[in-house]
Each structure stands twice: as structure tokens, then as C-alpha cells.
Amino acid sequence: MDGLTLQVTGMTCQGCVNAVTRALGRVAPQARVEVDLATGRVAIEGAVEPSRAAEAIRAAGFEVAGQNL
């Protein structure tokens, strides 16, 4: 199974975690998404293009740190 880990900035609460999870679920419905609020890490297990994942996170109002996607 493919995997991707992104560093997301701007998440401050469980609502942010839910927003990121929902956004990624729309672009990769079969993927397993784990969001760690404390570290800002988002792990995606499943087939998803990194650029589409980053775009979905940005559209939800957050930034993907250190990624040129």
C-alpha cells in the first residue's frame, strides 16, 4: 500500500483535524487518514497523489509546510 506523510500548519483544534480528514476523504475515499494535532503530521495510507492531497488541505484552509506540491 502506498503511503504519504505531510506536515500541516494552522491546525489548532479537533475541528481542524476533522476538516483535514474530510478534505482528504474527498480526494482519496479509500485511503486511511491519521491526523496528529500535536505534531501537525498527516499520514495517508493508500493511493493518493501528493499534489492532490496538498491541494485538498489548502482548500480546507491549512498549509502544507515544506512541500512544493
Q: Report pLDDT for 67.
A: 59
What is the model's pTM?
Answer: 0.90
Q: Report pLDDT for 57.
A: 97
Q: CA-CA distance, 66 to 38, in Å (whole number)?
A: 18
Q: Report pLDDT for 1.
A: 45
Give pLDDT tens digits for 1-50.
478 999 999 999 999 999 999 999 999 999 999 999 999 999 999 989 99
Q: Residue 42: beta bridge partners?
A: 6, 35
Segment (H or E) for 26: helix 14-27
Domains of the chain and CATH, by start: 3-65 (3.30.70.100)
Q: Report pLDDT for 28.
A: 93
Sign of CA dihedral 65, 40, 48, 55: negative
